Amino acid sequence: MAKLNTLPDALSSLLHNDRDWIPEHIVESAWLEHTPFAAWLMAALEPRVFVELGTHRAVSYMAFCQANLRRANPGKCFAIDTWKGDEHAGLYNEDVFAEVERLNQKYCAFSTLTRGTFDEALPLFADGSIDLLHIDGFHSYEAVSHDFHSWLPKMSDKGVVLFHDTEVRDKAFGVWRLWAELISEYPHFDFHHGHGLGVLAVGPVIAPKIAPLLHPEVAAKDVERFRHHFGELGGEVSRLYRKKFNITPGKPKKNFRSRLLGHIRSLAQRFRAK
């Protein structure tokens, strides 16, 4: 485990090197405000293999790839999705995948797009081979629990798993429930902004640059400083998004999450009516 006093040094380096980093792929997404952390985590963890379960329009995935490209020895990246949609993300046509394919051309030397279900992709990866896994598929408790436990054997000794939407308490979302269970078993850290992002260390070896965040004795002020820093950077990305699409702060476009939850409630009402 890294020494506790490494956190301020790590933050100082981050503030110096990554303050001007911005994602190249900015479209509407609940993940936008976590893209700066994706860049930091790629540098800190240096994953040999990164896998994303649930990519959709690839805001998170392209941020990871963009950060991976800056490494002296980039790792391998894999995005797994049917690119057909589901009840949470809605259904969408082939244009979505075509755009992701276009974006991926820049990273094709190390990035692979795999169309299929998460279970179908399991045999493609050897046990103990994945250093970083991002789970962002169907968000019911049963689905996310199945995804985590199915892919857990694939994680390496320094494996880290990311969970998006840990702060969403709507009854249709169950990530927060699984997160509450897992944090009693594994070292962890979480962000509260951007609908929540959980960082879970599932391997016995923790990379020195992230170890202080996951240590229970780290000073609360340092942890909050880290959260605040990335909350600010995430806010900057949101402002860039609003500027890009000419969205007035006083009259914001109805956000993705609001439309999503409205769609889920509508489906639930129709189901009960039957």
Establish if 151 belongs to a structural domain.
yes
| pLDDT score of 268 | 44
Whether the per-residue pLDDT at 32 is higher than 60: the answer is yes
Q: Quote the pLDDT of residue 221.
A: 78
Residue 211's pLDDT is what?
87
The tokens for 117 are 């279900």
Q: pLDDT digits over 153-164, tens only?
A: 999 999 999 999
Task: Write the single-letter amino acid at 188.
Answer: H
What is the residue range of 96's domain? 6-273
**pTM of the predicted model as reported, rounded to 2 decimal places:** 0.85
How high is the pLDDT of residue 212?
A: 82
pLDDT for 57 equals 94
Which residue is associated with the tokens 């959980």?
Answer: 198
Q: Which amino acid is at 198?
A: G
CATH of the domain at 39: 3.40.50.150
Q: Is residue 205 part of a domain?
A: yes
In a domain, 1, yes or no: no
Cα–Cα nearest to 39, from 50, 28, 54, 30: 50
- Per the domain annotation, does 36 fall within a domain? yes
**Is 71 among the domain residues?**
yes
In the chain, which residue ranges form alpha helices assigned H by DSSP? 6-17, 35-45, 59-69, 94-104, 118-121, 141-151, 175-182, 211-214, 220-244, 256-273
Residue 13 lies in a domain: yes
Which range of 2-11, 14-23, 137-146, 246-255 scores highest in mean pLDDT? It is 137-146
Cα–Cα separations (whole angstroms), residue 10 to 80, 225, 226 = 31, 12, 10
Q: Is residue 59 part of a domain?
A: yes
Greater confidence (255 vs 270) lies with: 255
More confident position, 253 or 80:
80
Would residue 146 count as lying in a domain? Answer: yes
Q: What percent of the chain has pLDDT over 90?
A: 68
Give buried/exposed letters for 87-118 (b at 16+ CB in 10 A, else e): ebbeeeeeebbeebeebbeebeebbebeeeeb
What integer is the mean pLDDT of 161-179? 94
How many domains does the chain contain in total? 1
Region 12-18: what's the mean pLDDT? 51
Q: Any idea which of 21-30, 149-158, 185-194, 248-257 has the lowest mean pLDDT?
A: 248-257
Give phi and psi for 246, each to the nearest 5: 55, 50
Mean of the per-residue pLDDT values of the chain: 85
Residue 209: the pLDDT is: 86
